Copies of this chain bind each other. A is one copy, B any other.
Amino acid sequence: MINHQTLASLTGILGSRLVTSASDLALHGRSESHFPPMPPDAIAYVHSTQDVQDILCLCNQTKTPVIGWGTGTSLEGHTAAPQGGLCVDFSQMDQIITISPEDMLVTVQPGITREALNMALRDTGLFFPVDPGANASLGGMCATRASGTTAVRYGTMKDNVAALQVVLADGTIITTGSKAKKSSAGYDLTSLMIGSEGTLGLITELTLRLHPIPEATSAGIVAFDTLHQAVDAVTQTIQMALPMARLEFLDAASIAAFNAYAGTDMPVMPHLLFELHGSTQSVAEQAELFGDICAELNGHDFKWSSKTEERTALWTLRHNGYYAILASRNGARAIVTDICVPISKLAKAVDDTVKDIDASGITGPILGHVGDGNFHAILLIDDTNTQEMDLAQQLSDRMVQRALDLGGTCTGEHGIGLGKRKFMEREHGPAWDIMTTIKSALDPNNILNPGKVIK
């Protein structure tokens, strides 16, 4: 809760940019996933680092919870306000500060979305590669250590943030990292902030690594008789170090949903979608090599193309995957699971998950970034049916247990938020206590996104 005096002081700082209208609170309390609404008490539409500093100084004194907000596309209840408090909405702090093409870096405010960023970069010959699917804000992507389809080639947010400006709980402004490509100068606070989900500080500026737009891009698709063959193709490809730019798995149920959604007639069996970036010659060479790997595993209907329209059609399919699957059951909501396992355990993890879902009676197509060992089941539920909700939650929990048993992690890219906190002890053991120790040292009043990530 925010008391009246704090609210008055916040209005003093922000004027009409401090909002408490019921509709706006409701909007900032809901989630794209299955969590019940948990609205904040007020929303601050910040315009500057100074705004954020002023807010945090005040909220730290008054022990008011502060929750960062980008575009609200996170999936584990990261932006929920279970204790109320102030939502700091960065959507109006969305400017590009500097583009440094020579250093292949760009410095941005946290509210810019990845599509807006890449649009602004289009004349530089450079792009920012991390693509979690949703048109998320860069601040949010950094806070959750997002990744997505291109991580297999370009890495995750962890690999693509050079420097940060962060406002800490007490209003201290720090900068971490630099524009130098590497450094051994002390603790890596940049990496500590990436993935801390707004519990250690609020990101007010990001310097991001850019990559040259490839001379050529080829994309393709291939079908397999069995899930095992598809996964084996992935494993072999990764082990040969073929530089796939994207490598996505879609199970037969996902393909059926696509066919129904988009009127396509792909064979209803497991597929791999892929993309390659490089010179005209190298993408052709690599597509052929990948084709050879697939052929050895009875892959069929192998198609690839370097033509923009054909590539776009293919990836539109993938990007609409979530909606196609959602549409396959009228009025359904989805629990989107997210695990990541060592690549050697991928076949077993997918296999056991499919069997478990099949036995449960829940519909749950599987797709994912298998080049990284990361995949999702999209569990379709009627969220008014508690039995179904429970069944789906149990399925999701068993997926995590399976991932941990196989040496993997409870979340490859969605983060902890509220939803995965129950697995932190099991995954990290005493290292979770250390996270809590760090949190307490940096935010002794526990005002930053309380109830998330740590104990």
Which A residues between 129 and 184 are near B, CB-CB below 8 angstroms?
144-147, 151, 156, 158-159, 168, 172-176, 178-184
Task: Look across to chain B and name the residue whose beta carbon is closest to the beta carbon of A282.
Answer: B282
Task: Look across to chain B and name the residue whose beta carbon is closest to the beta carbon of A157.
Answer: B184
Task: Look across to chain B and name the residue whose beta carbon is closest to the beta carbon of A181.
Answer: B372
A191 interface neighbour in B188, B407, B413, B435, Cβ under 8 Å = B188
Question: Are B180 and A187 closer than 8 Å at their CB atoms?
Answer: no
A412 and B178 alpha carbons, distance in the complex (Å): 11
A180 contacts across to B, CB distance below 8 A: 340-342, 373-374, 403, 407-409, 412
Is A186 located at the chain interface by the 8 A CB criterion? Answer: yes
Question: Are B195 and A187 closer than 8 Å at their CB atoms?
Answer: yes
Question: Are B241 and A175 closer than 8 Å at their CB atoms?
Answer: no
Question: Are B240 and A183 closer than 8 Å at their CB atoms?
Answer: no
Is A103 located at the chain interface by the 8 A CB criterion? Answer: yes
Question: Are A187 and B340 closer than 8 Å at their CB atoms?
Answer: no
A240 interface neighbour in B174, B182, B212, B420, Cβ under 8 Å = B212
Q: How far is the CB of A212 from chain B (nearest CB, A)?
A: 5
Is A432 located at the chain interface by the 8 A CB criterion? Answer: yes
Question: Are B411 and A343 closer than 8 Å at their CB atoms?
Answer: no
Is A68 located at the chain interface by the 8 A CB criterion? Answer: no
Is A8 located at the chain interface by the 8 A CB criterion? Answer: no
Q: Mark A41-70, 1 if CB is under 8 A from B, else 0.
A: 000000000000000000000000000000
Question: Are A344 and B240 closer than 8 Å at their CB atoms?
Answer: no
Is A424 located at the chain interface by the 8 A CB criterion? Answer: yes
Question: Are B428 and A179 closer than 8 Å at their CB atoms?
Answer: no
A409 contacts across to B, CB distance below 8 A: 178, 180, 182-185
Is A120 located at the chain interface by the 8 A CB criterion? Answer: no
A410 and B435 alpha carbons, distance in the complex (Å): 28
Question: Are B184 and A195 closer than 8 Å at their CB atoms?
Answer: yes
Q: How far is the CB of A33 from chain B (nearest CB, A)?
A: 15
Task: Look across to chain B and name the residue whose beta carbon is closest to the beta carbon of A238.
Answer: B104
Q: How far is the CB of A360 from chain B (nearest CB, A)?
A: 25
Can you show 24 pairs from A to B with CB atoms below 8 A apart? A100-B344, A103-B342, A104-B238, A104-B239, A158-B188, A174-B428, A174-B431, A178-B342, A180-B341, A180-B374, A181-B374, A182-B412, A184-B413, A185-B410, A185-B427, A186-B427, A186-B432, A187-B195, A188-B195, A189-B435, A212-B239, A212-B240, A279-B285, A438-B438
New A-B pairs, 11, CB < 8 Å, besides A181-B374, A211-B241: A104-B238, A104-B239, A174-B430, A174-B431, A180-B342, A180-B408, A181-B342, A185-B410, A185-B416, A191-B191, A282-B282
